Every structure is written in structure tokens, then in C-alpha cells.
């Protein structure tokens, strides 16, 4: 990332040629990244891009094979214990003890951060308040809803007063309501000044939460910068048309390209055609007009957010080679009404 850092300020994260290999698999491939403090940074990428490995490396759970990584100025290899005092990790699974109450879980983690009994009780109470867990705090967490459990897990990573909060796919597997709960919690923490590194494969999640976005694929950075800058290229809405017969795809594609001045795409043999629409709704209206004029019948037409695949196409100029198109990406594309409704 090329974000100007205040002179003298220690970057929150500084990765130089960071490489992690597991046997023959290269999870991180010479990743370079500098993140200034005081922000929410989202690592965006498809499954298998290296997001989780990066978070685990920051959390000192994985040792780099090559390159260097400094967290708040501390080297993860030379001073892992120092790094651990600065971070709080909430992984992909809610790592709370189901047979213990929320409060017991928080107090235990606080003690493991190094707090004494009184300080641990105070920290637990503060987190319960902050994450609105008061009603369920003294119930066993086995009875919590998905969102409550995830918020408790989030809370457990906070009780040591970390400088950097690591959230690995914080809303994966949550229903839409729980997803909102977690988003609100994360936003609240950010507003209080907690620095956050989160990974996600939902574009809209990065959109909701992050100040800075780093897109990674195949273990290295594909694009990075403030979201507002990236949005111009990756956040462009897409007009998608479903025609009644595959034979009509060509004609519709031509109309889309004429209006949007961008390249139209369609799956071979499919009935869907799409094209990025820099002009948004106005271009949609023109397309509808032209389709009517040409008497082309369509099943569906609409404006939607780009899928992660389309983002990658835009950023890298080539389709992702693994073709592991999954439902998660589809969810990210489905627009606000369907956010997170997979699973």
C-alpha cells in the first residue's frame, strides 16, 4: 500500500516480501504491505488467496518462510511475545467455551492477557457493556445465537486492550441479522479508536467497514488503497440482463457495450450478459429503451454490485484461473437485500 504515513508514526503493519510456504503450497508469495495506524484495514480476496494465512502470521501462529513482518514495530519472528501483547485475535471459529458463561469466558481471557482478578472483572464488564451482551452475559454461551457468540468472541479479543484487533472473516456463516450485529459492533470499536485488520470475501463487508482495502490473490497484493479510490475501478455497478434465449446474448451484448462503453461478458451457452456501467441508473434506462426498440424480450434486467470475480477481472485483467466460483461470491454480488443469505 502506498499510503502516506505520518512522519515518525510506527506503521501498524509492515510486510516486506512476506512469504509463507506449507510444504509445496505457497500461501503468501512475497507480500508487501504498509498500513498506518488509526484505521480499519480490510484484506479482500477469494478463498485460498492467503487472507487467513496473513492474519495467522500477524497473530504469530504461523512463522514466515521468508521476508519480514513488523506489527506495531515489533518483528513477529524476533519478538512474538511482544506482538501477542499488542494484538487480539478473533478467528474464523468463535473460540469461546460453550459450557462457560459469557462473563466467565471474558474474565478467563482477560486473566490470560495478564490482568489481575479485579482488572479482569472490570475489563469483562466493560466489554459486555460495549458489545451489548448484558442480557446474556451470565448465561452459558452454548445457548447464544450465532451473532451473540461471534460478538462474545470479538469481546474476548478485546479484554487485553489490544492495539490491533484481528478479525478473520468475522461474519462468515452468520445470518443477515447477526451479520448486522457484528458490523455494528466492529463499527463501534473503530469509532472508539481500535485499529482493526479484517479479512473478508464479501465486497459489501469491506464497503461497510473499511477505510483502506488491500486486495490479495495468490498470496500477493493485487490492488490497495483507500476504498474511495478503489471504488472508482472496482466498485462500479454492473448491468446484468437475463435473456429468454441464449441466441439473443450477442445482440444484447452489443447494446450494453454501445451504452456503457465497457466490455460485455457472458458465460458460454448462458442466458446472462453483463457489463460494468460507469453511468449507473441512467445507462440502465438507456439499455431498457434500446432493448424495447429492438423488440428483444428479457427475463430480468437490473443494476447490481460487481462480484468479486468481476473485481478481479478489472484489477488483474484476467479471469481467476482456479474457477472455484462459489456461493460466497454470488452472495457478495446479490445486492443489499440478499447480503449474507448464503448458508
7 binds other proteins (CB under 8 A): no
Cβ proximity of 242 and 271 under 8 Å: yes
Cβ proximity of 229 and 1 under 8 Å: no
Question: By CB under 8 A, how many residues form the interface with other proteins?
Answer: 57
Q: Which of residues 184-243 bind other proteins (CB under 8 A)?
A: 189, 192-195
305 binds other proteins (CB under 8 A): no
* Nearest to other proteins of 132, 254 (CB atom): 132
Task: Pick the stretch among 23-31, 55-63, 220-228, 248-256 that binds other proteins (CB under 8 A).
Answer: 55-63
Nearest distance from residue 250's CB to other proteins, in Å?
Answer: 50
Instruction: Kindly list the distances between the CA atom of residue 110 and the CA atoms of 118, 125, 278, in Å, as whole numbers in the listed order.
Output: 10, 11, 49
**Of these, 1, 12, 249, 313, which contacts other proteins (CB under 8 A)?**
12
Q: How far apart are CA 113 and CA 121, in angstroms?
A: 13
Query: HSE of 335 in the Cβ direction (CA atoms, 13 Å)?
Result: 8
- Cross-strand partners of 265: 274
- Best CA proximity match to 146, nearest among 100, 179, 107, 186: 179
User: How do the residues of the chain divide into helix, strand and coil, expressed in percent and rounded to 5?
Assistant: 40, 25, 35
> Would you give the distance in Å from CA 219 to the centre of its chain?
15
* Nearest to other proteins of 97, 257 (CB atom): 97
Nearest distance from residue 266's CB to other proteins, in Å?
Answer: 41
Give me the residues that bind other proteins (CB under 8 A), please: 6, 9-10, 12, 37-38, 56, 59-61, 72-73, 81, 84-85, 87-89, 91-95, 97, 99-100, 104, 108-109, 111-115, 119, 122-123, 125-127, 129-130, 140, 156-161, 163-164, 166, 189, 192-195
Amino acid at each position: 500500500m502506498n499510503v502516506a504515513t505520518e512522519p515518525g508514526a510506527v506503521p501498524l503493519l509492515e510486510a516486506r516480501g512476506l512469504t509463507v510456504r506449507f510444504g509445496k503450497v505457497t500461501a503468501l508469495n512475497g507480500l508487501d504491505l504498509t498500513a498506518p495506524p488509526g484505521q480499519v484495514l480490510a484484506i479482500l480476496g477469494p478463498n485460498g488467496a492467503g487472507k487467513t494465512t496473513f492474519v495467522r502470521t500477524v497473530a504469530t501462529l504461523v512463522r514466515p518462510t521468508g521476508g519480514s513482518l513488523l506489527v506495531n514495530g515489533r518483528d513477529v519472528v524476533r519478538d512474538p511475545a511482544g506482538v501477542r501483547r499488542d494484538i487480539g485475535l478473533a478467528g474464523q471459529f468463535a473460540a469461546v467455551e460453550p459450557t462457560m458463561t459469557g462473563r466467565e469466558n471474558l474474565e478467563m481471557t482477560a486473566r490470560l492477557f495478564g490482568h489481575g482478578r479485579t482488572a479482569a472483572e472490570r475489563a469483562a464488564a466493560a466489554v459486555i457493556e460495549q458489545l451489548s451482551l448484558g442480557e446474556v452475559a451470565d448465561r452459558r454461551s452454548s445457548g447464544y445465537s450465532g451473532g451473540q457468540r461471534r460478538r462474545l468472541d470479538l469481546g474476548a479479543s478485546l479484554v487485553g486492550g489490544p492495539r490491533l484487533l484481528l478479525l478473520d472473516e468475522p461474519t462468515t456463516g452468520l445470518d443477515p441479522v447477526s451479520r448486522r450485529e457484528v458490523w455494528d459492533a466492529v463499527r463501534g470499536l473503530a469509532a472508539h479508536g481500535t485499529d482493526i485488520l479484517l479479512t473478508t470475501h464479501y465486497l459489501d463487508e469491506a464497503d461497510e467497514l473499511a477505510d483502506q482495502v488491500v486486495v490479495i490473490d495468490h498470496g500477493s497484493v493485487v490492488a490497495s488503497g483507500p476504498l474511495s479510490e478503489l471504488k472508482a475501478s472496482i466498485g462500479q455497478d454492473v448491468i446484468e440482463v437475463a435473456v429468454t434465449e441464449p441466441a439473443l446474448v450477442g445482440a444484447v451484448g452489443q447494446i450494453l457495450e454501445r451504452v456503457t462503453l465497457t466490455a460485455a461478458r457472458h458465460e458460454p451457452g448462458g442466458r446472462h450478459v453483463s457489463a460494468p456501467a460507469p453511468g449507473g441508473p441512467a445507462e440502465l434506462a438507456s439499455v431498457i429503451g434500446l432493448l424495447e426498440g429492438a423488440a428483444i424480450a428479457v427475463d430480468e434486467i437490473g443494476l447490481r454490485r460487481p462480484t468479486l470475480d468481476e473485481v478481479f477481472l478489472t484489477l488483474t485483467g484476467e479471469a481467476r484461473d482456479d474457477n472455484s466460483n462459489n456461493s460466497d461470491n454470488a452472495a457478495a454480488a446479490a445486492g443489499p437485500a440478499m447480503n449474507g443469505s448464503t448458508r
